[in-house]
Homo-oligomer: A and B are copies of this chain.
Amino acid sequence: MRKRRWGALLTVAMIGSVTLTGAAVAADDAELLAQARQLFKPLPQIAVSPENPVTPAKVRLGRMLFFDPRFSSDGSVSCVRCHLPALYGTDGLPKSIGVGGRMEPRHAPTVLNSALQVAAHWRGDRASVEDQAMRSFGQPDQASAIAKIKTIQSYRLLFEQAFPGEKDPVTSENWGKAIGAFERTLQTPAPFDAFLNGDTGALSREAKAGLQEFAGAGCAVCHNGVGVGGGMFQRFGMIEDYWKATGSKEIDKGRFDVTKREADLYVFKVPSLRNVAMTPPYFHDGSVASLPETVQIMGRVQLNKALSDEQVARILAFLQSLTGSLPPDFASAPVLPPAAFK
């Protein structure tokens, strides 16, 4: 296994709350593990939230609502439209297609492990998974969507059970809380988590070399923490304009369009790399379909590095160790109460 210095870039770049130990060279598995634990955390079983405690009743309701298209304006779009279980919670499209065939402005990232992130949406303009779900619900006519839900007795009962004591529990806020609670259970522990939890045999030799490469090259400056990303915002294109490398058709100004602050120009949420090998295409506009090409572009526009094919191959081996199993309650659809609307 090649040994590389981890610290070089980290010391000159923003690393959030992450700190490195003084010894930058991993002499063996134990040392590699100790260093990795400085940068990354294993997934919890549930992404807990003080604002929205995860209860079985909320999860049960949220799972049904997640799969139910009938309360969208044309009756055909559920959360599953853009977050297909068969495609690891994505839709495989550069940009998603919503009600009326309308193209969404950005690529739909996977819903898996999304609840642990700093915010929702590429520009962080949704505070949480609950906020994202609530504000997507039944647009543009939430009152009509709520009225539809209320005609279905078993849904009324499920809302009452999920939000006990509330006089009128069928609300868009509770819709968001129920779906958010379900999403908080969609965690996909991977071989890398087993490694972080002490099973150093869970990663192949190549994946371990890739982890070294990933950290040493500086990828973990931003892609760190429990999500291996998802924990901060960062400018896309530190070294050169991103669109020159990605071939993006449009120049998206990112978080700038939300905050109007100059510092947020071309700033996006750093995507979580969990399940990245299963969720092409990549970037906020899905402009690149190949993961090796994506890794090379990131080296070029963020780190000013021309990564060799060998380096990319090692990093890919590490990224593949971030693929977990689909949660059974996500892979499998619940049976929804029968009802139809005109």
Interface residues of A (CB under 8 A from B): 64, 67-70, 74-76, 80-81, 84-88, 91-94, 96-97, 99-102, 277-281, 286, 289, 326, 328, 331-336, 338-342
Query: A92-B69, A342-B94 known; A336 and B87 CB under 8 Å?
Result: yes
Report yes or no: B101 in contact with A334, Cβ–Cβ below 8 A.
no
Report yes or no: B92 in contact with A339, Cβ–Cβ below 8 A.
yes
Q: List, in ascending order, chain B residues with CB within 8 A of A87's CB.
A: 336, 338
A4 to B326, CA, bound (A): 53
Contact residue among B277, B332, B333, B340 (Cβ-Cβ distance under 8 Å from A289): B340
Contact residue among B74, B91, B328 (Cβ-Cβ distance under 8 Å from A97): B74
Report yes or no: B340 in contact with A286, Cβ–Cβ below 8 A.
yes
Q: List, in ascending order, chain B residues with CB within 8 A of A101's CB.
A: 74, 99-102
Copies in the complex: 2
Q: Which of A85, A339, A340 has the most CB of B within 10 A?
A: A340
Report yes or no: A92 in contact with B340, Cβ–Cβ below 8 A.
yes
Question: Would you list the 7 A-B pairs with minimal beta carbon distance, nearest first?
Answer: A101-B101, A281-B340, A85-B333, A280-B340, A86-B333, A332-B332, A289-B340
Report yes or no: B76 in contact with A93, Cβ–Cβ below 8 A.
yes
Report yes or no: A97 in contact with B76, Cβ–Cβ below 8 A.
yes
Query: A101-B101, A333-B84, A333-B85 known; A338 and B279 CB under 8 Å?
Result: yes
User: Mostly helix, strand, loop or mixed at chain A's interface?
Assistant: loop
Residue of B nearest to A82 (CB): B76
Residue of B nearest to A74 (CB): B97
10 intermolecular pairs with C-beta atoms under 8 Å apart = A75-B92, A80-B86, A86-B335, A93-B340, A94-B342, A101-B102, A278-B338, A326-B333, A331-B332, A331-B335
Report yes or no: B69 in contact with A91, Cβ–Cβ below 8 A.
yes
Q: List, in ascending order, chain B residues with CB within 8 A of A338's CB.
A: 87-88, 277-280
Q: List, in ascending order, chain B residues with CB within 8 A of A85's CB.
A: 332-333
